[in-house]
Amino acid sequence: MSRRIKHVVFILLVQTGCFGIGLWMQHHFVLAAAREQAVQQAWKELESDTRALLPELNSVARQGNPQGKSDLDIVLGRVQRGSVASLLLHADWSYLTTPSFALKTETGETKNKVHWRPLLDPDSANADLPRGTFEAADGIHIAVAYWLEPQSTRVVVHRPRQEIAAATGTLLTSLGGLGLLTWVWTSILLGISTYMVVVRFHEEAERERGKTVSDQLHQRQTLLRTRDAVIFGLAKLADSRDPETGDHLERISVYSTTLASVLRHHPKYAPHINSSFLRLIGISSALHDIGKVGIEDRILLKPGPLTPVERARIQAHAEIGGRCLREIEQRLGSSNFLQMAREIAIAHHERWDGTGYPNKLRGEEIPLAARIVAIADVYDALSSRRVYKGPRTHEDCVSIISEAAGKHFDPDMTQVWLSIEGKFREIARRYADSPLGRRPNVEIPSVPAAQEAEFDADRDCLVVAGVGTSPT
């Protein structure tokens, strides 16, 4: 059941329940009020009937003869209708005439005396026909009492209260059915209105939620784009010290993402590569050579071979980059992006056979992202023009990388790369370097292939051993 339906059902149950309780309380209130009104009306009728007979009753009572009792009975017989009856009582409330019902005291014993309870109402107590009640075998009777002249005899006209309540209940029998019908129809209307309100509320909430989520996503994307732009700009600034690298960072990013997207479908690498990995490696790879900001221009831009000291110095860029990114993590807190960037920066010159630098990592000790960037970086170094060499053909690059499988590069990853090497050729063409005329005073040395391979190694391009002179 959807949340919308659950909310409608819950609200409807609460509303109908509250409305039903309200109707039930109203029904009992109306019934009680109607019964009380009926009792008040009955008292008024008793008073009216008694007042109509008072002159004649007083006249009979004043005669003071034994026949007066019968005459009183005759006069009182005029109010004997339905449940309305009358009593003749002595001054001590014992009766002169035998009633047609049994009287009861508070203890339940039958006696020939009425236990009169005056109505606790000042107006009634001071009236010429005071109101009161007494208990009979059939329940409480309401009554009015009157002293006959010369105040030696009482006349009590009474009526059972239970009979009044029963009559009232009969009149109000349809009230319960009417209340039930009202509850049903009102519940239906409440259900319809509740459903419309809840649906409208949910639609508004979903629109607001969608707008909020959309705004958050837009803000997050803006922040990510800003972060990526700043990071890429910093990496580009460091890379710009060597103006002959052209679009090196752009190519490395596309190379790495392309290779990683294919490895994602390989059984060995699929558990480690997801959409987040693909997104992160695209920008993290741009920081692979960020440590070169700490290398002197005289070494970085030297057109000839490097001395052993200079070679050791240029290789230090891996540790410089890793240390720099680690310090950033310590200040900003660890994140997947910074962790991957640090792993790439410090380990993309490690070799599968353990002869790389700076930590001589071997095999799968080398982080996966660093192994991916290693292939991308070497291919770009071989296929691109540099201040100290010209570009190699795509076929030469493929041959060199293929021969380095299991030595320099992850052998399984190399086999995957060989299946898509044509895509690297297309990327290289798309991001072709600008003409070298940006530095017209620099000439590319014309050297043999063996010496060129050594130059590549000196320049930290990680050219594999076995091609010309092996790099140290």
pLDDT of residue 469: 31
What is the average per-residue pLDDT within 377-386? 88
382 pLDDT band (50/70/90 cuts)? Answer: very high
Q: How many CB atoms lie within 10 A of CB 23?
A: 17
E strands of 283-388, at which residues? Answer: none
Q: What is the pTM of this model?
A: 0.53
Q: How many CB atoms lie within 10 A of CB 161?
A: 20
pLDDT of residue 361: 96
**Per-domain residue ranges for the chain?**
3-175, 240-458
Cα(364)–Cα(270) distance, integer angstroms: 15
pLDDT of residue 346: 95
What is the average per-residue pLDDT within 11-19? 77
Q: Fold match between 3-175 and 240-458?
A: no
Residue that wins the pLDDT comparison between 194 and 244: 194
Highest mean pLDDT among 130-139, 346-355, 425-434: 346-355
pLDDT of residue 315: 92
What is the average per-residue pLDDT within 367-381? 95
435 pLDDT band (50/70/90 cuts)? Answer: very low
Cα(159)–Cα(50) distance, integer angstroms: 13
Residue that wins the pLDDT comparison between 439 and 322: 322
Q: Residue 294 gets which letter from DSSP? A: G
Q: Contact at 8 Å (CB) between 232 and 283?
A: yes
HSE, side-chain direction, 13 A CA sphere, residue 188: 5
pLDDT of residue 132: 87
pLDDT of residue 192: 79
3-class DSSP state of 113: strand
pLDDT of residue 78: 58
pLDDT of residue 262: 96
Structure tokens at 88: 């003749």
3-175 belongs to CATH 3.40.50.300: no
Percent of the chain with pLDDT over 90: 25
What is the average per-residue pLDDT within 307-318? 91
On the question of pLDDT at 218 being above 80, the answer is no
**Mean pLDDT rounded to a whole number for the chain:** 77
Instruction: Please give the CATH topology (third level) of the domain spanning 240-458.
Output: Hypothetical protein af1432 (1.10.3210)
Q: What is the 3-state secondary structure (H, E, C) of 195-260?
A: HHHHHHHHHHHHHHHHHHHHHHHHHHHHHHHHHHHHHHHHHHHHHCCCHHHCCHHHHHHHHHHHHH
Residue that wins the pLDDT comparison between 147 and 276: 276
* pLDDT tens readout for residues 106-151: 444 446 777 888 877 666 555 678 888 888 877 888 888 887 766 5
Q: Helices 275-284 & 173-239, crossing angle to 10 degrees?
A: 30
What is the average per-residue pLDDT within 69-98? 66
pLDDT of residue 296: 87
pLDDT of residue 436: 36
